[in-house]
A and B are shown apart, each in its own frame.
Chain A
């Protein structure tokens, strides 16, 4: 973990952060930029966090008006990315007409968004007050506001339009002169030159002789058969062409001047417009958060500082919650300053369960600061519990919605997860070596952390592994960190001061039927036989279902009998 950072890439990956963040979808480039700038709020940044959460809740409450919400999203989607343009304007650089078209679109969409916010009765502290209409009018022809842009149409630029008209008039005059010449030639010779300007006469044609004297024609080539003449550009046409060239130069000069005038006009406002763009990006991001909160049916989220929660904090927690009764009880419990999780889920885990047709068991958890230990059978979802808590913590500290009915959390300086299987081919370390290296890094930083430790030391010999796990749990209780452990080692449950939890485990009545399952149905039945609820537990409460599960998976009977005998010798018959 980089010194001073909230988490490292391994933690992000193990918690499923990239995938979950992919479901947060702002629709404008400015919104995507705001998304890239998302950062966690540390314990000292509570007021900044609150401001963002208030914005989220305010916008979320307005989403009930679906048509309005769609209009807002559409307006943001069409918001162009003018950050680069505004920086250029700030420096006084010359822009192109298309750049002003983009700037006009920005004003157009900004204006539309502001009207929608007014319509929805929403006022954000971060919103930048911009005279949208005034700016729009600067890039609009006199009269009704239109989304198109033409430099020559600007009210301040009658000159440019005049020059273009004169240019068109010159074109028409050139065309007329050429046509007149063509008509003259047709009258003289019965036909006019082709598009290539050539007239070809047979040498025996008397016109060939006459044409040699014609001012409108020049003899190009005479073969034994033909005389080939080229139409001569009349002097008047040459004059007009020169005038047209001059006019084009004049137009170009005027255009450059007009573009520079526009830059000068907007330059004093550039910094403010950049802030407005960033505010629009923030709004877009907040809207995306609100949509995600709805998708996840988020309830209340509450930042728990050390100390007694204020009435205001308690009120924030109530906002958006579905069940007032549960909220009241949560408020009572909040004096413990730890974590309260109600009906939470990990979006990736839930999606996987639902994809296979299962019903996801949401997580309820009360964790005080200190160390919590989860025991439970294999495949009982212990890892998912750790990842869910880690993800919720990360989302909450980033002021993002959380997939939970209630999430009351204690902000930390950092979070870290050890997956227990960090074998790295690149470093040449064994699983155990890599895990110890990771643990050492996680523990080496003294800033208060939330640590999620999955089956610590499971890859070494069980005796030493258990000793290490006990040592680690005991040590963590003496630090300022909070940790949630998942472990199969019974000894860890005996550590004084540890908070015990266990996955409810296999439903006894279904377990017998599980053993009779056909191999192809086993996994499905196992899922339905497992009770994934997390319950409080006490010392020594470690479920022992491994041998029976092994039996379900078809291990040879002889192996199972031997295992059973060993267990009986050690501690009496298994349940």
Chain B
């Protein structure tokens, strides 16, 4: 059971991230809500990006609504707060503004559906979660829109439930393959002590930092550039030279471009980033980088509580559920996999 995995880890904040839109993330969240309600947990429910509408705004297809039990806390924008069927008691203003109005914290008086909207940034999620916990929530669920990885940030939530499904491909094998890549991002290995120190030095200075091996120690060289987007780190005035570098710590996003810039470095090079939510590398670029004998590690790893699979696609096709779950399990290693529709 999904909730059991979460409870085993003692998590109080769980984010849900989908591989794509309509991967079954909201269904997974509703399932978690049902299980948590049955166990009497005091819930807090937040969504990043507009979510929970009766009909999806982009494709116009029906979308599962977020069903909320009595007693749960929800956060949503004033314009849509009353759009669902749940009866709400508005208890607090969050101070967050959105295009759909200011965001409020409300307590569900009578169960029903809600539209959760108005929260867009990581800091806002963190703030709302704190407010919910202050109001007594002991399990908070954060539903991240399909392109919003930030909810999974270890600085915001304790761990993540991933959702994958038939929406990403037309065959079982293809879905399994894409799901494996999706999962691998979240399972990026944690930096060892030395690389973690290098990352911390980069974070403290707000610049990129390079690790140079000197007498068995990784010496830190702070670069002048602050972003990995604009410039090749190797053209930085403080770059110690190809042969000397052993690692690079990047506090911002890691993209294909950066990975490709670093390909020529001698084997055994390590790239350290904050966490998986900052990793935006394609499978092919990642594969090539690893093939060169390099490694990519994160300062903070993300705990994955499990992965749900949705055999139905919004495009109309359906994959055999048993086979699909088995195929995804086969690539998921120790991560638990469930059919979200069962």
Contact = CB atoms under 8 A, between A and B. Distances in A.
Answer yes or no: do A and B interact.
yes
A164 B88 contact: no
Interface in A120-141: none
A98 interface: yes
A138 to B, nearest CB: 16
Interface in B107-121: 107, 109-112
B90 A98 contact: yes
Given A96-B78, A97-B81, A167-B85, A152 B109 contact: yes
Contacts of A251: 85
A171 B312 contact: no
Of all A-B residue pairs in the complex, the 4 with the closest CB atoms, nearest first, are: A150-B89, A98-B78, A101-B90, A148-B91
B50 to A, nearest CB: 17
Given A97-B88, A147-B92, A149-B89, 17 more contacts: A98-B82, A98-B90, A99-B78, A101-B93, A101-B104, A148-B92, A150-B89, A150-B90, A152-B87, A153-B89, A164-B109, A164-B110, A194-B339, A194-B342, A195-B341, A251-B85, A255-B82
Contact of A96 (B82, B92, B110, B342): B82
B206 interface: no
A194 B104 contact: no
A98 B92 CA distance: 10
Interface residues of A, number: 25
Highest count of chain A CB atoms <10 Å: which of B79, B85, B87, B107: B87
Interface string A164-208: 110110010000000000000000000000111000000000000
Highest count of chain B CB atoms <10 Å: which of A99, A150, A165: A150
B341 A196 contact: yes
Contacts of B79: 96
Q: Give the bracket for the number of chain B residues in contact with chain A.
A: 20 to 34
Contacts of A195: 27, 340-342
A88 interface: no
A171 B91 contact: no
Given A98-B104, A148-B107, A194-B341, A167 B112 contact: yes
Highest count of chain B CB atoms <10 Å: which of A102, A153, A195: A195
A258 to B, nearest CB: 12
Nearest to B105: A148
Interface string A147-167: 111101100000000001101
B101 interface: yes
Given A168-B110, A171-B111, A80 B90 contact: no
A497 B224 CA distance: 64
A152 B342 CA distance: 36
A458 interface: no
30 contacts: A80-B93, A96-B78, A97-B81, A98-B78, A98-B81, A98-B82, A98-B90, A98-B101, A98-B102, A99-B78, A101-B90, A101-B93, A105-B93, A147-B91, A148-B89, A150-B87, A150-B88, A150-B90, A152-B109, A153-B109, A164-B87, A164-B109, A164-B110, A165-B110, A167-B112, A168-B111, A168-B112, A195-B340, A195-B342, A255-B82
Contacts of B85: 167, 248, 251
Contacts of B89: 148-150, 153
Contacts of A248: 85
A167 B110 contact: yes
Nearest to A141: B89
Contacts of B87: 150, 152, 164
A551 to B, nearest CB: 43
Interface of B: 27, 78-79, 81-82, 85, 87-93, 101-102, 104, 107, 109-112, 312, 321, 339-342
Contacts of B78: 96, 98-99
A476 B324 CA distance: 94
Given A98-B90, A98-B104, A194-B342, A150 B82 contact: no
Interface in A84-119: 96-99, 101-102, 105
Given A96-B78, A105-B93, A152-B87, A171 B112 contact: yes
A425 to B, nearest CB: 33
Contacts of A148: 89-92, 107
B90 A149 contact: yes
Nearest to B64: A195
A377 to B, nearest CB: 45
Contacts of B104: 98, 101
B79 to A, nearest CB: 8
A168 B68 CA distance: 12
Contacts of A171: 111-112
A501 B342 CA distance: 92
Nearest to B340: A195
Contacts of A105: 93
A99 B102 CA distance: 10
Contacts of B340: 195
A233 to B, nearest CB: 16
A167 B85 CA distance: 9
A97 B342 contact: no
A270 B86 CA distance: 31
A150 to B, nearest CB: 4
A171 B87 CA distance: 13
